[in-house]
Structure 1
């Protein structure tokens, strides 16, 4: 798959050559030049364009910034405007996501309309490529309905006149199409299992990816019976859907979670689908605004929150806040004896930074420690929460933060967590189900005590719900999924309405709340903020896109 990335410039030129309309309206096209579809390599270029439009590091980090896991702390951003309750229909993010998603759908429709023109293409090859592009089209529509709700929907190219008249299709109808597409893709048998991919095919869509997507789509609808069914396929039927398991780093088992997100372990057996990046060719640069300044970041603009840090249990399997708080937890020495996934995800004061060569640097973030990473106030270049990002830090990236590290879309731990949640929502999770899902995730994380690992038989269904939700948050932190959990659980008022905090330390200065730094003030409106506005430019072009979503 990485070989195909080298043709991005060629693909872009092809799209520009064929396209006769801007992509900021419901897509229409004149892709009818028969002289393009002359060989299989050109069809692969178009397919690869679809992959590049489906998902990216930029989308993952952008979605993460919409949640309570991170806060934008320097300058302005559209995500920050949304979270502060200041977004309007003219917000650039609303327009750009609409344009980009429909641009990707356009690529898919062009491929499907023209792939039969390619002479001499083996049927098996063509059918596999068709099912990959159908998966991509379904995923793009999935993005759209989760952002905007009802959106224009079509499965073949439409005319210019129709583009200015098309109405919004109900979200449920589009989701029904997505489920039907994914079932058909899995049943057709054209997609391979992950273990059957040859080296140059790593990163391509498999039957396991289609199954994981189906489980996630049902999860976001709250259809827990279907979630359990499809997640169960991936857990119980590896001969059909692929042999996935939690990644274990052979050299140091206790570092498995940390090493899961390093360049050396791309395409490991936990990854169901990821987006391929190539050093110095196709790369992402988001760490320039999130990593420690001492690790070549330009500025600290997007920081983890204290609210995220507080979710990590102690190694005694107990929380650091609220009911059942670990009595051994010391608020003045808060990072000792904590879930190892915290240090694999977030950089905090006195952090032991592991370098690729095995050496260790100590990162100081507290005020008065006088390092390039130390907190210096709410308008300075350094962290504003006392935290930096470590997860997805690529220790092989260039000095200007160009990373070729792949971005994971679906992984097996998420499947286990979906299964656990579904089991508990359908009726209190059983010990067998717990031991299949939550226990191995925590064992891999490094927990050893019974309080963390054993089935909590004495807890009620509701109490276990809170445990599973918290486990999902810490296991999948900074992977772009938290906002969608907030959205489907309808907890926006609870977690996105009020003050976002940074760390607590002596000499913080400025505005504090019980010693914890106040960083940003969020405002959440239940009647507006679970959906984005249809872009104003689109409503100006097409009056049939009205009425807009409530509150805009």
Structure 2
């Protein structure tokens, strides 16, 4: 986002001072409303502080779940999450700042004139509560600031999820009606609010549909709202899908130094001139940050270039790298290194490096030129909302409602396929021929249009990979168990020499016993530096095969509340099956 003067940080720190339980005290007298809220500039300055709510660059690209596999699987994947003493996402200072603003902004301007600032605040309150509900389920709803001596408010129990989400919708609808309608990649607008509403309502609608154990009503009302918000943005908004050529458009969208605002609705800004960087390049090319690589199950999901299914090919399970990446959806070669890959600004052909990628499917999405390769020296912008997600939200909501037509797909999925020269998704064919590979993954899809829902999920996983949607998608679809499946990489028939790009030179040698010698070759010792499913008989690369992965269906769709908060507020109740006071 835009970089603001240091005194904004000081202001935020003052506004988020001491706590009693999880709620902050009233502002200190030095920043009372009379002293601060004097001009429209003050309102703008204050609302700018809300942008810290959005994820950092790492919070966007540093995805894991079952999409991107790293050497450290993490507690979410291993099932080793524990009830935290404090923290754990149960933080409310951002809400306190938003509510304080809403109580005081009209000291400067009339409520009518100040509506756009109130709308911005309510956008961020909707964003805040959506995150909390997605994480914890029921949470206390507070529409105003709390006095430190108000024991009733401080001891408030968790409000029902349905009530909270109704209030979230009221906030986001107010934001849509009253925010500026201009196009601004670094400020929230009416269009950002519509994108957020489509995200919120799709998430809540599908969660209610696929989680009957929570007894949440009106799933279809949320799905209809998701489709409506997305459709409004699609038909009246100033955005479209970025296109140049099928071989590079997708990659260009993410490697561009500045957000391409034809498609990016809101982005996080970075700049060498302002010395504001992130670590994407270093993350993908060194062994220091987990060696991220695409999971085999995702690579298998990419269609062939003619639109047919890769997993329908005989013997696809034992295809080696060169063969398996031929004639695939062009987004595959714009997401990972494939034969012929060269860095931006260089002509040297590079093969995947296992030293930087656990699976061998080495990431190139968001990777820029070598100028950004040093630690924390990448400066390309990061998308927070983009039009592609809105199109996917629309298609999925329509499919889940059982209302999708071919015309709906033509104005959503087709636009993403057109970018990379792929055939359009055919509704009738999809429903007549559900993909058994996807059906095995998404076992709760049983609608009459099962095939279509599966295909839209395929499209979503491919289009949005490395943008940190996957964990939330699996949670709302009730498919968390996919995180506990074996994580795999490239297939190798056993020890030996391998020419990955078929240029006549050995790129990898998998060996047993004494390490061979040679230059320009990746030597990988079987059983330690690389593990194959069947050892010397070959198989897919396995990542941390001796590290158990667990997902508890009776517990892990919600996060636990921290112990300290349960002790401070006796009216809070722990989420089901988490250790601690219930």
Instruction: Give the TM interval when normalised to the shorter protein.
Output: 0.7 to 0.9
Secondary structure at 1:503's aligned position in 2? Answer: strand
Per mean C-alpha deviation after superposition, the further-off stretch among 282-291 and 430-439 is 282-291
**Aligned equivalents of 2:275 and 2:224: distance in 1?**
36
Q: Pick from 409, 414, 419 the counterpart of residue 384 of structure 2.
A: 409
Distance 1:278 1:83, change over 3 A: same
**Aligned equivalents of 2:193 and 2:121: distance in 1?**
12
Q: CA shift at 1:474, angstroms?
A: 0.3
Q: Say if 2:98 and 2:124, in contact at 8 Å, map to a contact too.
A: yes
Q: CA shift at 1:267, angstroms?
A: 4.3
**Aligned equivalents of 1:90 and 1:457: distance in 2?**
48
Q: CA shift at 1:141, angstroms?
A: 0.8
Q: Structure 1 unaligned segments of length 5 or more: list them.
A: 366-372, 376-381
**Aligned equivalents of 1:150 and 1:35: distance in 2?**
37
Task: Tell me the equivalent position of 2:80.
Answer: 86
Q: Say if 2:395 and 2:412, in contact at 8 Å, map to a contact too.
A: yes
After superposition, what is the alpha-carbon deviation per residue over 1:409-461, rounded to whole angstroms, capped at 9, x for unaligned? 2222222222222222222632222222222211212225xxx5544436341
Task: Tell me the equivalent position of 1:45.
Answer: 45
**Aligned equivalents of 2:39 and 2:54: distance in 1?**
24
Task: Tell me the equivalent position of 1:290.
Answer: 283
Q: CA shift at 1:544, angstroms?
A: 2.3
Secondary structure at 1:502's aligned position in 2? Answer: strand
After TM superposition, the structure 1 = structure 2 runs for residues 90-109 of structure 1, keeping only pairs within 5 Å, are 90=84, 95-99=87-91, 102-109=92-99
TM-score normalized by the length of structure 2? 0.78
Whether 2:309 is the aligned partner of 1:315: answer no
Distance 1:318 1:387, change over 3 A: same
**Aligned equivalents of 2:255 and 2:145: distance in 1?**
41
Distance 1:123 1:539, change over 3 A: closer
Q: CA shift at 1:303, angstroms?
A: 3.3
Q: Say if 1:309 and 1:342, in contact at 8 Å, map to a contact too.
A: yes
Q: CA shift at 1:270, angstroms?
A: 1.7
After TM superposition, the structure 1 = structure 2 runs for residues 83-482 of structure 1, keeping only pairs within 5 Å, are 83-90=77-84, 95-99=87-91, 102-118=92-108, 121=109, 126-161=114-149, 162=151, 164-187=154-177, 190-193=178-181, 196-197=182-183, 201-222=184-205, 223-224=219-220, 226-235=222-231, 241-249=236-244, 252=245, 254-264=247-257, 266-279=259-272, 281=274, 283=276, 285-287=278-280, 290-293=283-286, 298-321=288-311, 324-325=312-313, 331-332=319-320, 333=322, 334-347=324-337, 350=339, 352-355=341-344, 357=345, 359-365=346-352, 373-375=353-355, 382-395=356-369, 397=372, 399-427=374-402, 429-448=404-423, 453-457=425-429, 459-460=431-432, 461-482=449-470
Q: CA shift at 1:170, angstroms?
A: 1.7
Q: Say if 2:234 and 2:391, in contact at 8 Å, map to a contact too.
A: no
Q: Structure 2 unaligned segments of length 5 or more: list them.
A: 206-218, 433-448, 495-509, 511-523
| Superposition CA RMSD, Å | 2.9
Distance 1:547 1:264, change over 3 A: closer
Length, aligned pairs only: 502
**Aligned equivalents of 1:122 and 1:402: distance in 2?**
45
Distance 1:481 1:299, change over 3 A: closer
Distance 1:59 1:171, change over 3 A: farther
Distance 1:109 1:237, change over 3 A: closer
Q: CA shift at 1:476, angstroms?
A: 0.9
Distance 1:278 1:374, change over 3 A: same
TM-score normalized by the length of structure 1? 0.82
Secondary structure at 2:571's aligned position in 1? Answer: helix
Q: Say if 1:132 and 1:205, in contact at 8 Å, map to a contact too.
A: yes
**Aligned equivalents of 1:325 and 1:91: distance in 2?**
51
**Aligned equivalents of 1:207 and 1:329: distance in 2?**
47
After superposition, what is the alpha-carbon deviation per residue over 1:176-213, rounded to whole angstroms, capped at 9, x for unaligned? 111111222223xx3222xx34xxx5321121221221
Secondary structure at 2:267's aligned position in 1? Answer: strand
After superposition, what is the alpha-carbon deviation per residue over 1:2-51, rounded to whole angstroms, capped at 9, x for unaligned? 3xx232x2211112234431498233332552323333333322211101
Q: CA shift at 1:298, angstroms?
A: 4.3
